[in-house]
């Protein structure tokens, strides 16, 4: 399964999702990691910090949890529809890679057009 397929599945009906990889293994199945619910799997792994983790996400993720759990690398599918707090992450020495994947751009654009109120609520506008 590709990272993009996994992210889409983790987002449920909302097309933004995330796919955390810890020491080479995905560990956040059945959680909407796009909402950064890494705390819910903290007990499963027994970690408070995720230094060996890369977070793959369809669009710019929330910075708080990434900073809290010290995730060192975030791979973002696209940042055109929402750029989030990427500069904050970079200022905290998080390696941010933006793929600018057209599939992510198109998916988010369609969602924003179809559900503007839900989109505004999700990004706290």
pLDDT confidence of residue 5 = 62
Q: Across residues 4-9, what is the average pLDDT? A: 58
- pLDDT range class, residue 35, cuts 50, 70, 90: very low
Query: Strands 73-78, 95-98: parallel, antiparallel or unpaired by DSSP?
Result: parallel
Helix (H) or strand (E) holding 63: helix 63-68
Residue 34 to residue 38: CA distance in whole angstroms:
10
**For the domain bounded by 3-116, which CATH number is listed?**
3.40.140.10
Residue 69 to residue 51: CA distance in whole angstroms:
8
Residue 79 to residue 99: CA distance in whole angstroms:
9
The residue assigned the tokens 């970079």 is 90
Q: pTM of the entire structure?
A: 0.75
Q: What is the pLDDT of residues 52-62, one digit of tens each?
A: 888 888 888 87
Please tell me which residue, 46 or 63, carries the higher pLDDT value: 63
- pLDDT range class, residue 42, cuts 50, 70, 90: low
- Domain limits of the chain? 3-116
């Amino acid at each position: 399964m590709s990272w993009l397929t996994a992210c889409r599945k983790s987002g449920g009906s909302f097309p933004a999702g995330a796919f955390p990889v810890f020491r080479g293994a995905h560990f956040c199945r059945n959680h909407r990691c796009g909402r950064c619910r890494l705390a819910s799997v903290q007990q499963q792994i027994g970690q408070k910090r995720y230094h060996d983790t890369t977070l793959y996400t369809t669009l710019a993720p929330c910075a708080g949890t990434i900073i809290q759990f010290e995730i060192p690398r975030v791979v973002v599918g696209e940042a055109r529809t929402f750029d989030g707090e990427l500069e904050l992450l970079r200022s905290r020495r998080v390696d941010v890679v933006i793929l600018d994947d057209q599939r992510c751009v198109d998916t988010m654009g369609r969602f924003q057009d179809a559900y503007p109120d839900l989109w505004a609520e999700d990004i706290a506008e």
